Amino acid sequence: MRRLLILVLLLTGNRNPAAAQVPAFQLMRSDAVKLLDDVARLYKKRVIAVNTSLSANVSALAEVAIDGSPVIKVPPDRDPTEADLVHELFHLKLIAEGFGFIRFSRPLPSAVETRLSQWVKDPIEHTIFFPQMKEMGFNPAEQIEKIASNTRAGLIAEPGQAPELSVVPLFALQMALRDSPAVFESFIKGRVNETDIAVSRQAVEIVSKDEPGTPDEEIATLVKVLNCLVPTIGTFSFTNWDLQKKGAVTVKTAIIQVEAPSDRPVCRR
């Protein structure tokens, strides 16, 4: 018999006892259940699913609660797939193993910080666990392939986006579609600025060449990619790790120094 695991959904800010009975999601595959057990063992706490609104285009998010509980946040209108949950479980596992988060030495506009984290740091981190997801039988790029196959999808243009970030979603898309370059090429054809494409290709090349495997390597690659993608925002360099003890784990945050923009960008434009 297939082992069926149900995580109980904790509804934040909702004390209605009827709502708390809602079973959230199920993990069907034994290796997904094993991953869940591994994460719980690393944190010495069970994984909690929290129903909460997230920014647009975010299907789920991994976080560590102040008491050290591993948390997967899911928007109330989304029904996460097993692949979504496994994806977030891998992020939680990596956080416990020291991969952590990033923070900039001087405050950048919050939309910029969010984008650099979601669309630059995350796609680099994915290269570390996507091979394992594939071994488990998942296609980690399934959703993005579906969206990009729809030629009318507007993934690149985002209203009100800072112009210096135009290449950032392109990089995220190209990273996500590394295994299906034909989908990427037909999606961008005639709709993306040539300079942006050239820069994005060079940034993806940096990641492919580096193949980061440790927290330090990941940040070193990230810094190079930031200096390639967004040189007008500043010159980026790694300074140190900030450590925060949360329950059984130490959550690491890489502090990234931002200095004046360089007149010699890493990537050719």
Q: Are 231 and 263 spatial neighbours (Cβ–Cβ below 8 Å)?
A: no
Helix (H, G, I), strand (E, B) or coil at 126: helix
Helix (H, G, I), strand (E, B) or coil at 174: helix
Number of residues that bind Zn ion (CB under 5 A): 1
Shortest spacing between CB 60 and Zn ion, in angstroms: 8
Helix (H, G, I), strand (E, B) or coil at 27: strand
User: By CB under 5 A, is residue 59 in contact with Zn ion?
Assistant: no
CA distance linking residue 131 with residue 161, whole number of Å: 32
Shortest spacing between CB 122 and Zn ion, in angstroms: 5
203 versus 266: smaller Cβ distance to Zn ion: 203
Shortest spacing between CB 161 and Zn ion, in angstroms: 20
User: By CB under 5 A, is residue 164 in contact with Zn ion?
Assistant: no
122 versus 158: smaller Cβ distance to Zn ion: 122
122 versus 217: smaller Cβ distance to Zn ion: 122
113 versus 122: smaller Cβ distance to Zn ion: 122
Shortest spacing between CB 87 and Zn ion, in angstroms: 6
Tell me, what DSSP letter sits at residue 45?
S
122 versus 145: smaller Cβ distance to Zn ion: 122
222 versus 266: smaller Cβ distance to Zn ion: 222
CA distance linking residue 245 with residue 141, whole number of Å: 33
Shortest spacing between CB 88 and Zn ion, in angstroms: 7
Shortest spacing between CB 93 and Zn ion, in angstroms: 12
CA distance linking residue 254 with residue 145, whole number of Å: 31
Task: Count the helix, strand and coil residues of the chain and give each as a percent rounded to the nearest 5.
Answer: 45, 20, 35
Q: Which of residues 106-135 bind Zn ion (CB under 5 A)?
A: 122
CA distance linking residue 103 with residue 242, whole number of Å: 9
Residues of this chain that bind Zn ion (CB under 5 A): 122
